[in-house]
Structure 1
Amino acid sequence: MLTVVGRDGSPLSETARAALESAALVIGEPGLLDGLPTAPDAETVAAHDLVEALRGVDVTDQDVVLVVNGDPGCFGVLRMLLEQGHAPEVLPAAPLVARAFAQAGLPWEDALVVSARDGHLRQAVNACRAHPKVAVLTGPGAGPAELARALFPVTPRSFVVCEDLDGPRERVVYVRPAEATTRPWNDPHVVLVLDNRHALGETTWISGAAPGPAGWALPADAFGERGGLRPDVRAFVLAKLGPRVGDMVWDVESGDGSVGIECARFGAAVVCVDRDYATCERIRENVRVHGVKVAMASGDVRSTGLHLPEPDAVFIGPGLAEPDAVRACAVLKPSRLVVLPDAATARETLDVLTEHGFVADAVQLGAAPLGAEVEPSDNPVIVVWGERDIPATGRRASRTIRSIETTPGLPGDPDEPGA
């Protein structure tokens, strides 16, 4: 049979010892095989890639043990073994993340745990930008220095770098990102990225990041007295942006930061971009009111965009919904791009998105309060959006600006004729 044994520096359980003593083959990560109670004739193999080392080994006629660090069920080897048809017995040790937070003296039920391995460094960095307490599992090319270079100096954070936890080279180092970019690191397993002002966190009922907002498309007056995007328009824009943990969203010239703030409430990292100083101050005040993490960039996105973090989704508000601004953002290849153009530039905006590989569509939204005399068509808003690298749904984009029909009243409304 196949058994997976986790190690964390503490004495092995009797079950783990028995599995090792009866194993004909023991495969383990380098440094974890020392001092194990193996049989005298057992073969031992040190390997970084345990699944590859197990390839071709028949576990049906001999006992095989894989030795891993911590809990193999948390970003570990267990998933890959199950995907390959194995059904191992699992004897876990304390997870790396639990041991790291114990070293830092912090509770971790409210921590966001992410992996920067296998090409996910950018998503891990965005999670650290948006959340105050993140445990990052590291890998080659995705360690403390790479995290620090991406976060410093815009995002103030502290690092707790945990190297070789419970091993002979254990080292736990508290550093600022600027220092982390220059120090040598001995293949750390986990880095805690903390906003010291909120590192303790609040009592919660759920493990991991806080749940998403209870409500969204907030009322217009939630962003100050001056009118911004209507809630119905903002709801549609948010649906097309699809903000998620690990995403970077640009809110370009929304006027009040409402789109960016709502994306931040969903857990995305956000940068608001605006050319007007007074508007930037208004956005900063709205950010403070809503208690979210949003970065502010003053300037024209056409010239500053190349200096901002790579976007996953971009919203361009009516303040800069011009084809050349759309083109400047489209060349960066975000997955989603949403624009509020005027009627004169809507068709050209669609063409720009299509030319840059987006599946593009558009709609005209109209809305009016119940019982209001104004007709929905008196205040239309055109929304153009494009998607890249989205699985095909079998539906062609219409390329026709469609109206969403609205009704000024509900059946049975006493203000309606015949009610």
Structure 2
Amino acid sequence: MIRVVGTGTGTSLPDDVADGAGLVVGARRHLQAVRLPEAAERIVLGPLAPALDAIEEYVAKDRQVVVLASGDPGFFGIVRALAERFGTERLEVRAGVSSVATAFARAGLPWDDAVVVSAHGRELRTAVNVCRARPKVAVLTGPGSGPAELGAALRDADRVLVVASSLGDPARERVERVTPAGAAARDWGAAVSVVLCLDERRTLGAVRTVAGPAGGPAGWALDEGEFTHRDSMITKFEVRALALARLGPRLGDLVWDVGAGSGSVAVECARLGAAVVAVEKAADGVERIRANAAAHGVDVRVVHGQAPGALTGLDAPDAVFVGGGGRELPALVAQCARRARRTVVVALAALDRVPGVREALTGAGFTCDGVLLQSSRLAPLPGEVSRLAAANPVFLLWGVRPPACTEGVPQ
């Protein structure tokens, strides 16, 4: 049997927690905090593989193993690795209070509607994109992915960071509210447990039935009437539906909407969970995008400027949507393709631009495909009958980066 004991935050372990164990595994501070049997072997937890191998030897001999872990070991903790290696039937888990639960308690906030993302030993970009997309996020930190790095990446976001350090230690615990810029300017050391990233306008939210992030929208490819737009200058819902299918926006992704116009694609990507940057050269277009994002309750970062120059300095996207046309379109698509990690989708009306866009995508190492969309909508006629009203045809091209061809792609 393997007994896994979470130390929790603000609680002490019973002295007899390791009684009868032939092997005790844990961080040095955990091993020092309990009474260990004199005959027990002790392993200070570092690389996981050697510890798992040692545990396997004791399990094979039917000897008791005790694993001491921080917080709740079943929450981004060692229980997963142990269960995969030895099976759940061999585990006896005693959960402590997680650092996330404690941090929200210290902040006086409910957290059934929070998104929790780990940046410990993982790319920070996913945590950053989730923080941009959701109003209440807990980030589990790690070396190189702490509050300073998170704050630097979120300088332009309307967020407050709650930095929780040494949770559960009466002498050293600190919980501080700072701006992203304030977090970026400090050296936080290694004691940070978790960072809460909050949009304070929406930290309470509505009463929930299902815990976790808000569910996806009931529908997408919304009618054009759901957006403020100018002179029907908006990506039609038939085109938007296929564009969204090819973009595949999801929580943790970053999507660019270049030449965003009304921002309909940007808003729909944000509704599906992605962090979104909309780039628009017209000042009135910028205001429309902001109004449409507010109307649909999503965050869209709007960059006022003309691509490709306006793309400089933006974080590398997972997916890009390019709308509009012009002689510069192939060059713009090529630049977007060089930065995109997964896919680029281009909507255009002019047949003459199709070869150049295809060449731009394939030249960047993407596999390219496309379709000409021609749709006719039902329109009423006198006498309670209908006709078909044809919409202007639109070419939709998309390029997908092969999974093996990621060398040199910005992270």
* SS across alignment from 2:285: helix
Match of 2:361 in 1: 353
Matches within 5 A, 1:14-413: 19-57=17-55, 58-60=57-59, 61=61, 62-86=63-87, 87-152=90-155, 154-167=156-169, 169-187=172-190, 188-224=192-228, 226=230, 227=232, 228-319=234-325, 322-341=329-348, 342-370=350-378, 376=390, 379-390=392-403
1:267, CA displacement in angstroms?
Answer: 1.2
Give the whole-Å Cα distance in 2 for the aligned partners of 1:370 and 1:182: 58
Residue identity in the other structure for 2:287: E
1:27, 1:50 within 8 Å by CA — same for their partners in 2? no
1:389, CA displacement in angstroms?
Answer: 3.6
Residue identity in the other structure for 1:360: C
Residue identity in the other structure for 1:20: A
CA RMSD across the alignment: 2.1
* SS across alignment from 2:82: helix
1:334, CA displacement in angstroms?
Answer: 2.8
1:273, CA displacement in angstroms?
Answer: 0.3
Give the whole-Å Cα distance in 2 for the aligned partners of 1:322 and 1:276: 17
Give the whole-Å Cα distance in 1 for the aligned partners of 2:137 and 2:269: 19
1:50, CA displacement in angstroms?
Answer: 4.3
1:317, 1:339 within 8 Å by CA — same for their partners in 2? yes
Residue identity in the other structure for 1:7: T
1:5, CA displacement in angstroms?
Answer: 0.7
1:47, CA displacement in angstroms?
Answer: 2.2
Residues 325-350 of structure 1 deviation map (CA, whole Å, 9 limit, x = unaligned)? 10111111331110013211112211
2:344, 2:400 within 8 Å by CA — same for their partners in 1? yes
Residue identity in the other structure for 2:396: V
Gaps spanning 5+ residues in structure 1: where? Answer: 393-419
Residue identity in the other structure for 2:119: A
Give the whole-Å Cα distance in 1 for the aligned partners of 2:91 and 2:117: 25
Give the whole-Å Cα distance in 2 for the aligned partners of 1:283 and 1:51: 50
Q: Which moved more, 1:258-267 or 1:40-49?
A: 40-49
State the TM-score, normalizing by the size of structure 1. Answer: 0.87
1:375, CA displacement in angstroms?
Answer: 6.6
State the TM-score, normalizing by the size of structure 2. Answer: 0.89
Give the whole-Å Cα distance in 1 for the aligned partners of 2:68 and 2:217: 41
* SS across alignment from 1:5: strand
Give the whole-Å Cα distance in 2 for the aligned partners of 1:76 and 1:289: 39
Residues 268-317 of structure 1 deviation map (CA, whole Å, 9 limit, x = unaligned)? 11111011112112212212222210011011221121211211110000
Match of 1:3 in 2: 3
Percent of aligned pairs sharing the same letter: 44
Residue identity in the other structure for 2:42: T
Residues 46-77 of structure 1 deviation map (CA, whole Å, 9 limit, x = unaligned)? 22344533323412222111111111111111
1:391, CA displacement in angstroms?
Answer: 8.6
2:13, 2:34 within 8 Å by CA — same for their partners in 1? no
1:30, 1:48 within 8 Å by CA — same for their partners in 2? no
* SS across alignment from 1:192: strand
Residue identity in the other structure for 2:307: V
1:22, 1:38 within 8 Å by CA — same for their partners in 2? no
Give the whole-Å Cα distance in 2 for the aligned partners of 1:103 and 1:6: 20
1:388, CA displacement in angstroms?
Answer: 1.3
Distance 1:49 1:5, change over 3 A: farther
* SS across alignment from 1:124: helix
1:258, CA displacement in angstroms?
Answer: 0.1
Give the whole-Å Cα distance in 1 for the aligned partners of 2:179 and 2:47: 32
Q: Which moved more, 1:162-171 or 1:218-227?
A: 162-171
1:111, 1:208 within 8 Å by CA — same for their partners in 2? yes
* SS across alignment from 1:48: coil
Gaps spanning 5+ residues in structure 2: where? Answer: 380-385, 406-411
Q: Which moved more, 1:215-224 or 1:282-291?
A: 282-291
Distance 1:389 1:146, change over 3 A: farther
* SS across alignment from 1:197: helix
2:377, 2:389 within 8 Å by CA — same for their partners in 1? no
Residue identity in the other structure for 1:241: L
1:240, CA displacement in angstroms?
Answer: 0.6
Give the whole-Å Cα distance in 2 for the aligned partners of 1:77 and 1:218: 43
1:33, CA displacement in angstroms?
Answer: 2.3
1:318, CA displacement in angstroms?
Answer: 1.7
